[in-house]
Amino acid sequence: MEQAPASSNNLSQSRGFTDETGLRQLPSRRAGFAWHIICYRYIREKRSWHTPVFDSRVSALLANSYSRRPHAMKFYSASNVAGSHWHRFLALVFLCGFLPACATRPVVPYREVALPIPAASLPDTVESHEFTANKEDSVIGELASVPVRAGDTLADIARHFGLGFQEISGANPGIQPWTPEPETRVILPLQFILPDAPRKGIVINLAAMRLFYFPGGAKSFRVVTYPAGIGKEGRSTPTGQMLVERKTARPTWYVPESIRKDHQEKGDPLPASVPPGPDNPLGDYAMYLSKPSYLIHGTNKPYSIGFRASNGCIRLYPENIDKLYNRVPEKTPVTVVNQPYLTGWRQGVLYLEAYPPHEEMDDKQVKKNLLAKLKQIEKKQRRKLDWAKIEETLAQARGIPVPIFEYTDNLNAVLAKAVLLEHPMRLYGQPETPKWAEAGWYVKAAETNDEIRARRLAAMLNHQGPRIPARVVVQGGRYQVLAGPFTDAKATKTMAKRMAIDLDLKGEIINPGVRLSMNGATEPTRIKSRIKWREAERP
């Protein structure tokens, strides 16, 4: 198995070293919490109580659109952040999943061990949507991996390769989703176990947040699959049998009364209907299901895919709903299941794939049912299962199919076989750094001494929908997150209001005159040079 290169002296002193076993030894942090790095080996290190599952749930705050609800977490205004309330601000940001660090102690930025990238020519793509599945097998696709480039986020990589946020963050629990270290290899979990449901029409597995379409019905071996966004807790997507009742391109959104009431209470009244356009949360295509008020549709918030963020509908990336809409005829059957634990076969080998069960489920009963099923398989096949590996797969719930017969590959070996891809010239849909306008209008979202924290918040704002352009600049030795530039005072106030309602983030409006006086005679040069450096980092 390939070994990680030796760390630098500075890294060895601050974050540990790599010993002869290939495991990176780290200073003790907090017992019971682990990160995993997955590039040919399985590595754990002690850290704070930030986890991918925690990230996925609280980051859904950022993915919500017209489906927002009150949140207990509040941000202080940017003017207060610089003062005595800074430690309180950090604690709240920690809870929101923006900045996963303890507010009472400084945080050493997480660093992955960068593995050497082979010089040989590598493929830059792998099939992610259309597969062939024979009658006996139910495992499709293959794992892949890709190195991170400066400026990437896991959300960017996920969208380019046809994955949702839960899938890529769950498969890479040791990697910061919004500020991954350059050259870190990211696992692309493009191998899937088909849900335990008839291979007919559309099948949606809520636990995996993934849609499967069988264009030829049960007699065909073809399957098309896309990641999805689903209903949030309290407004879950219903399970059961449905039909595609009708289809509409450029749909009008007729706002349900319950959503209008929610917005009215937050001081953000909505109209009775929203016409087609960038503010329409249904996107460009909608397929209305036979169960009233539920749809499969596009979205104006593409980075909400892989979150529980809707009011019950199924969301797809705009580039995916476009293809599905044109292939699926009306009256197509739709089956919605919620299966966090999946078993499947490939070439005579039994695999197990696990996702975190949703809060509404009785996870103990679900696990009990699975173990009973596996015992029956073991008895019928007369071949022993690796029960320790089964327990580990369920506990980690990384959404990666793992063979579970005795003497089959463990997770480390499975990951080591992932196809290494070359980083694309540009990731599809990746937000560009907004152009700098010296005389522009801005909203200062936050100010901090920590560059990683500032970059993380800026990345999250850039991945809103519609997008909130944001960047990090240096002012007086501190890092500021500026949203903008905006054309005038009205547009700036509108954006500040949206940030407050959508994200509970209270920013400070900075007009061009104030900005010049605040920077002084020498600061603009420093800010400009910092911005150029940031832009040069991007692929």
297 is catalytic: yes
Q: Taking the CA atoms of the chain, what radius of gyration do you get in angstroms?
A: 24
How buried is 190 (Cβ within 10 angstroms: 0-12 exposed, 13-18 middle, 19+ buried)? buried
- Angstrom distance (rounded) from CA 354 to CA 343: 9
CA-nearest of 208, 313, 197 to 256 is 313
Paired residues of 481 in beta bridges: 446, 472
Contact call for residues 165 and 154 (beta carbons, < 8 A): yes
CA atoms within 13 A on the CB side of 21: 6
* String of DSSP letters for 120-154: S---S----SEEE--SS--EEE--EEEE--TT--H
The CA distance from 29 to 181, in Å, is 20
Q: Choosing from 50, 313, 423, 463, which is the catalytic residue?
A: 313
For residue 297 the two structure tokens come to: 């549709």
Q: How far apart are CA 155 and CA 339, in angstroms?
A: 24
What angle, rounded to 10 degrees, do the helices at 512-519 and 523-537 form?
100
Find the angle CA(489)-CA(493)-CA(494) to the nearest 5 degrees.
Answer: 120
Strands across the sheet containing 285-289 = 130-132, 222-227, 210-214, 201-205, 333-337, 240-249, 285-289, 295-297, 314-315
The question of whether 96 is a catalytic residue gets the answer no
Residue pair 410/389 in contact (Cβ under 8 Å)? The answer is: yes
How far apart are alpha carbons 177 and 165 in whole angstroms?
Answer: 9
Of 180, 263, 178, the closest CA to residue 461 belongs to 178
**Which residue in 50, 297, 423, 463 is the catalytic one?**
297
Q: Which residues are catalytic?
A: 297, 313
